[in-house]
Chain A
């Protein structure tokens, strides 16, 4: 009862408080007032502190009266302000008016601390403008509401992804977070379980000693935490990830093993090249994205190069190399091996050249399709040819240097347009550099070239003279491997050529021969080996001329001999004034030398050539209309719409006409068999003629086809409109056409197809989605991409394995 009373009382007080706010007052209000009064009284009574004081006073009085001398003490009302006043104002001069100055007077006595406030006061006095009135309550509330709404809506929007996900889900299983099946702990099943038997108690005391959990959490806190850290699904995901990585790893290992066993050198060479290219590309990207790392990489490369240059490794100076050198004369393999060594050396000592722009990359890609030797052979021969530029094996600096140093050797190199022009500009800049620098560079270059020369000399020395070699080379069969070898040789030769300004006639001849021997299938199908000597420089020139501007051609045409110009004019139509030439001729020529044509150049030229023959203008009307009609007529000359329509109609009529049904069967009353026809009488007898259909509705309408196919009895079952989610009829038809039943599908498929969208458990309460689900979902969304990352590691691993392989090879 007491409790209920208390509640009632509290209810009343509640009402009291609210009654201040509300205007409405009913019958109960009087009661309320009374209750309020009661409350106040009781409150005054309850002031225990003052009570005590009074008692204390009485006690003192009693004690003083004990002394016999009875003294009447005047009780006096005392005011604290008389004794102490903070502002030196007391109640004595009560009638006086207190001025602000009286109050401030104290401020003078306490100077330093109050200067600040003084200043502020002064400022306030000076400041004439009034403060802005505070916003009304309504407005502040509005602002508050808006802010709160923003916050809440943002919070709620976190669910968007979950909601969408659930909408798109193929199947939803409710209740959402079902407890995992399996045995449960006894504490979960039975509440308030206690150890009772002595054995149990003993066990529990032991547990307590070992600080194991006793009651509800059977797991230790750390175990609990670990359990909480990873849910079952997460664990599953993680396991799947690990499985995947393991599988991938084993796969790549197996692949690497298999690749290691491949003996084909060509394969490895190609592989290496691909790898290098990839590496380069990566490096390129790195240059763009992470310059610091790229620099680091560059330094590393430089270091390795330096090391290689310092060491005698791969220099064919070791014991093995010497032995090989002896054998090289007789043994192709030995020669090849040495060659490989040199190649390695070359590779390692080369400065890395990053392709300058996209064009060159493209060129690289195009070069990829060509056989190896094309890339390997002529890094310098091709320097004029843009398609062959930008390779690893060449060093532009060097080339430029050589160009600059040896103008007489490459006279036409000077007029290199496009990028060549830029190079030239650079060259000019370089010319301005100090002599010292150029000298230094010259030394370095020399050193480098010497190395290559050494390389070159070793095999050369084996041969008695160049004639022999030439003969040998000419004898060489078309075998690819051989070709590669030749190319290598040639390259080396060229490098040596570069170094020595005075290029001997003989070597040039040799070049020409070799080149002719190599190139005919690729570049010049018509070129005869005999003409090669003369044409090889011409070919190079073409490469130059092709990318040259018109002025250059004009300039050059004065210099070049008549025969040369003739060649040029026939072979480089792109540079000529092409307006007069017919497009077909152009195309012909282009086809001939497809590989050599710069697409940009061709495109611009074409744009010039093509002109709109008839551009109808709006001003001339009558003639124009006529013209237009003609144009349209011309445009649609091929298709005759009317006759097509007539044909269509005839076809439809044909289809609508009833066919004679032939029901004759062979045998049945006469002989049947191969080559025997049923008798005419029988055929006549079993041929059923169908009554002609009613005349077509469009019979007398020449330009209309009325389709009479629609069958109303079937139409009742047909879909007449494309239903909503489908975009075209074929899409819809496809869904209809694929059967779902077990007559056409296997058991599993049927189960999969017919799985219901919402699955509920019988008798299970479905709780609303909880915040934990949101968090779980988010975490899943985070973890999913990581799986992808894992799978993306494939190529990297591949690269790793390749690198490993490379190292292994080097060791060999």
Chain B
């Protein structure tokens, strides 16, 4: 007699160690897995909601300054080191991993206007209200040694900003004119001026390292080439640009933060019209910094918020604010693309996550794949109204909320008026001016 018994090979279903994942045999026959779209939609919705639940961007506050923090500098070689200078001339070096100050020195009398670490990371330069450029050693002086600058250059006027060349021992300052200095010399190797206005920001192009751009207080942005004797071009805008930042992955694009609440991304070859106008702030934008991937940038504003913009989008994807954070003066995106540092009026430096809901630290492979999957789902269903609504929802302080609403109303009213005027005037006499064209006054050759 034959006895039939159900028998299975344990190799097919038993895992080798208990740390292994249970093996789940799968049949991918689509008829066995119906309702793909609704199921994925639900997953996407859940993922979006969870993202909002886990969106806790604020990491730490670094306190210690005794006055508003005016400027910050990243270390080019060390992720954990960061420098900040305050309005009372004090300079602090921070260790970000420990979240503590490792060194304090009185760099200037009056404001520390600008700060930059040289490309090799061994020294840093500061400029202050006392008309000096000072070079400091990066290393902390030993016990008993005095904090003294390596070099001091006395300037004729106040320097307002400083930046360092990407690969050479050359730095640039601006004040009444844009000066290019060699680290080894006490005289500028080149000076640029165009008109008699003071400059408030100058930046080296990190890609095409000989190019520079500066913002002047006559509402203009001026481009320079270090190798040329004259500036290259100047664009004058409606209002003054406070700072600018070059895209580290695209040699010809830069973004400037403007007094008129907007940021403008320019292609340096076509200055007559910005590539993108980034709107959302409700007050003057004071600083801007690109993410090292060149995909996004972060802006600091007088309206006490930080906003993150995708580089080609007109509106921000994220807004950060806390109750105690006052006017944000300086902002930096860490060079591992993970963190954002903001320095504000109320003497604090804050550390934020660049992606609010991101889990920090090492991820297990399954975690990583789950994150990727949910990201993909969110992207796939991003146009669905519920998902869009949830993912875009942000809480704003009442003042900012009401102000943005007010601004919207004002803008709408202006547009309506313009439309009406156009309607009642001779056809063709009122040309349609696009948003991009509105803000540029002229390009000076």
Contacts and interface: CB of A to CB of B under 8 A. Distances in A.
Contacts of B43: 741
Interface in B221-252: 223, 225, 228-233, 248-252
A301 B264 CA distance: 70
A723 B154 contact: no
A7 B151 contact: yes
Given A172-B293, A760-B293, A769-B207, A144 B229 contact: yes
A218 to B, nearest CB: 24
Interface stretch (A35-43, A148-156, A696-704): A148-156
A174 B269 contact: no
Contact of B156 (A18, A145, A716, A756): A18
A282 interface: no
A188 interface: no
B402 interface: no
Contacts of A15: 154, 156
A695 to B, nearest CB: 31
Contacts of A740: 40, 373, 376-377, 380
Interface stretch (B102-110, B322-330, B331-339): B331-339
Interface residues of A, number: 64
B143 interface: no
Interface string B49-79: 0000000000000000000000000001101
Contact of B208 (A145, A156, A172): A156
Contacts of B187: 10, 14
B369 interface: yes
A720 B186 contact: no
B445 interface: yes
Contacts of B385: 716-720
Interface in B264-281: 268-269
Contacts of B269: 153, 156-157
A7 B155 CA distance: 12
Interface string A149-171: 10111011101000100100000
B414 interface: no
Contacts of B223: 149, 152
Interface stretch (B3-11, B29-37, B122-130): B29-37
Interface in A1-48: 4, 7-8, 10-11, 14-15, 18, 22
Interface stretch (A305-313, A596-604, A742-750): A742-750
Contact of B336 (A7, A718, A763): A763
A27 B442 CA distance: 39
A735 interface: yes
Contact of B186 (A7, A159, A762): A7
Nearest to A740: B376
Contacts of B156: 15, 18, 22
Contacts of A148: 225, 228, 230, 232
A739 interface: yes
A732 B369 CA distance: 25
A142 interface: yes
A739 B36 contact: yes
Given A739-B36, A745-B28, A754-B373, A764 B232 contact: no
Contacts of B375: 754, 756
A420 B41 CA distance: 74
A720 B249 CA distance: 37
B383 interface: yes
Contacts of B208: 152, 155-156, 159, 771
Interface of B: 28, 30, 33, 36-37, 39-41, 43, 76-77, 79, 151-154, 156, 166, 186-187, 206-208, 211, 223, 225, 228-233, 248-253, 268-269, 292-295, 335-338, 362, 369, 372-373, 375-377, 380-381, 383-386, 445
7 contacts: A148-B232, A152-B228, A163-B250, A717-B385, A740-B380, A754-B375, A763-B336
Given A14-B186, A149-B233, A719-B385, 7 more contacts: A145-B445, A151-B225, A736-B381, A740-B40, A741-B39, A743-B33, A769-B251
Interface of A: 4, 7-8, 10-11, 14-15, 18, 22, 141-142, 144-146, 148-149, 151-153, 155-157, 159, 163, 166, 172, 174, 716-720, 723, 732, 735-737, 739-746, 750-751, 753-756, 758, 760-771
